[in-house]
Amino acid sequence: MAIYNLNINGKKHQLNVDPETPMLWVLRDHLHFLGTKFGCGIGQCGACTIHLEGEAVRSCVTTISEVGTKAVTTIEGLSVDGTHPVQKAWLEHDVAQCGYCQPGQIMNATALLKRNPHPTDQEIEEAMAGNICRCGTYTRIKAAIKTAAKV
């Protein structure tokens, strides 16, 4: 066990947990941030995507010891009221069906637009390829990202 001083969504949290605890479980079980979802547990589906210093990472394979004091943003920290341009575009394009993968999709899309504000279709497809949507809303996801890029 070790004590960690975390910076999550701009707020400080102190936890005493095993250094190998995945951030997914730190967020969900210890801090009750339930927007980040468990999907596959091996970093392949993207449902658990969060931002670490602004970069999209899979929280199921990122340990608390890897995070340390780096800034973490979860879907709850993206915007308090759902007014982030990506969130608004998601609603405009009616992206979600079951919705389970959407927090991870949105977090990955947001990181993409941060590093590339005007991505091409191919760049969107490449960047989002690691996020799986069982409902198959990929066309709407791409359209929403293109809409958000215009804002």
Q: How far apart are CA 64 and CA 44, in angstroms?
A: 19
Residues 123, 90: one domain? Answer: yes
The burial class, CB within 10 Å (0-12 / 13-18 / 19+), for 12 is exposed
CATH of the domain at 119: 1.10.150.120
Q: What total number of domains does the chain contain?
A: 2
Domain enclosing residue 7, as ranges: 2-76
Identify the residue whose tokens are 């005493």: 16
- The reply to whether 48 and 103 lie within a common domain is no
Q: Inter-axis angle of helices 102-115 and 85-92, to 10 degrees? A: 130
What's the whole-model pTM score? 0.95
Q: Are residues 7 and 49 in the same domain?
A: yes
pLDDT of residue 60: 98
Segment 57-114, tens digit of pLDDT: 999 999 999 999 999 999 999 998 999 999 999 999 999 999 999 999 999 999 999 9
**Residue 89 and residue 144 share a domain:** yes
Statement to judge: residues 15 and 51 lie in one domain? yes
Record the tokens describing residue 52, joined without a space.
């670490």
For residues 59 and 111, membership in a common domain is answered with no
